[in-house]
Structure 1
């Protein structure tokens, strides 16, 4: 998939973020910076990737560093991104898989302000904090060349996570849907700012996917199962690895002429 550079992945301790980390390593990234709240879980992902590379007999395994942080804390994000750039020398790909979801009993009229603020802080403000810090690094670095045909690729590629709820409404999901719509707006605006400079910015929009975020709440899981049965043409949930493949595509050289887009990976949900 042509991702020979350094990848920064948030939400990397579980779910789609974890799958994305394994996919970057599998497809040839030279370095991984894994970010999440849970240090122990991050270490487990790091060791798992290293074990996988040993089993595959990789001669030059990718370097992996872990960074515990809260994506909604601006100072933590800035410090982590600067540390990553210093450690690895550059940052080529960013995948912001960190996020939080919640259902609001009674709908929009009953959303608690504290819940609203928390979801906006993590899903939207966190996306801006990471994009802003990474873009400042990327815009100063030399473009990375493709490992396939030496096409001029980019100074960097940033993938923010939206959702099918970035393009469609789903009941009882006021704050989450608002943030995911806003992420697409952030991507479309910022991609215009830097397209000419070789910095590509895109969104990925997962459909119903089996992850800890979506399955740990019985209420959310039940709602997902009901929707999948009636509204997803493939009649199943996605796997984290299937979403990760979309991230890798948007990150690397196979998408060198793609920016400002929202890639829907949803089993056909939004085409209905």
Structure 2
């Protein structure tokens, strides 16, 4: 995948798609900065990568805090010399599944802060460094909920539509600067976020799975494969695009 010795930052890398992406990046020879709000989780993923013979460094970062994002990138560049790839994966879902009129203010503010503002902060800082070094690659983790309506899920849907929009707008702005920016849009994928959704109602698992033509949920490793491809030179003529990995549910 031509990722050997590339310096990669993955946010939300302590579990789920982020952990799978960090692990696969390292397997392809990248130097992976495992960033997560939970340092213990980041450390475990980094340790697992190291045991496999890969190179990984854990970092604690809250993407809703601009100064923490800025400090992360400064530290990475100081120690590694560059920032080749930024994977903006950190994300949360709302605690409640409610219609818009009943949507809680807490869910709105928390989800938008992580999923939308956090991605903006990471893109802003990463792009500053990439402009300085003359190249770079950003992969944002959006969602199928950012491409089609998602009921009882307003803040999450709004945030993921925003990620798709930010991806395309920034790709347009930086295409001539040797910086590529793309997104992946997973459908229902095995992860802590899906577990949270499935626990909201007893019948939710069968209900959601029944809508998927492939009759199963996605695996985090399957999403990671797409992220790694976008991060590599194998996709060097692609920018501003969204890749949907949803088992056919969008059909």
TM-score range (shorter-chain normalised) is: over 0.9
**Residue 62 of structure 2 corresponds to residue 70 of structure 1:** yes
Instruction: Classify 1:222/1:26 alpha carbon distance in 2 versus 1 (closer, same or farther; 3 Å).
Output: farther
Instruction: Classify 1:236/1:195 alpha carbon distance in 2 versus 1 (closer, same or farther; 3 Å).
Output: same
Deviations 1:61-90 (A, max 9, x none): 43x221101111111111111111111100
Question: What is the RMSD computed on CA atoms of the aligned residues?
Answer: 1.4
Instruction: Classify 1:224/1:173 alpha carbon distance in 2 versus 1 (closer, same or farther; 3 Å).
Output: farther
| Native 8 Å contact 1:103 1:172 kept in 2 | no
**Residue 215 of structure 2 corresponds to residue 223 of structure 1:** no
Q: Could you tell me which residue of structure 2 aligns to residue 22 of structure 1? A: 23
Stretches of structure 2 that go unaligned for 5 or more consecutive residues are: none
Deviations 1:162-207 (A, max 9, x none): 1000111122111100110111110110101100111001111011
The Cα shift of 1:233 comes to: 1.1
Match of 1:34, SS? strand
Q: Could you tell me which residue of structure 1 aligns to residue 193 of structure 2? A: 213
CA distance in 2, matches of 1:220, 1:187: 33
CA distance in 1, matches of 2:38, 2:16: 13
Instruction: Classify 1:207/1:127 alpha carbon distance in 2 versus 1 (closer, same or farther; 3 Å).
Output: same
| Native 8 Å contact 1:39 1:68 kept in 2 | yes
Q: Could you tell me which residue of structure 2 aligns to residue 137 of structure 1? A: 129
Instruction: Classify 1:22/1:106 alpha carbon distance in 2 versus 1 (closer, same or farther; 3 Å).
Output: closer
Q: Could you tell me which residue of structure 2 aligns to residue 241 of structure 1? A: 221
Q: Could you tell me which residue of structure 2 aligns to residue 172 of structure 1? A: 152
TM-score under structure 2 length normalisation = 0.95
* Number of aligned residues: 249
CA distance in 1, matches of 2:162, 2:235: 23
The Cα shift of 1:223 comes to: 2.9
Instruction: Classify 1:87/1:179 alpha carbon distance in 2 versus 1 (closer, same or farther; 3 Å).
Output: same
Q: Could you tell me which residue of structure 2 aligns to residue 159 of structure 1? A: 139
CA distance in 2, matches of 1:175, 1:117: 8
| Native 8 Å contact 1:69 1:77 kept in 2 | yes
- Structure 1 runs, 4 residues or longer, greater than 4 Å off: none
Deviations 1:24-51 (A, max 9, x none): 011121x111110111111111111111
Match of 1:219, SS? coil
| Native 8 Å contact 2:98 2:153 kept in 1 | no
The Cα shift of 1:220 comes to: 6.7
Q: Could you tell me which residue of structure 1 aligns to residue 175 of structure 2? A: 195
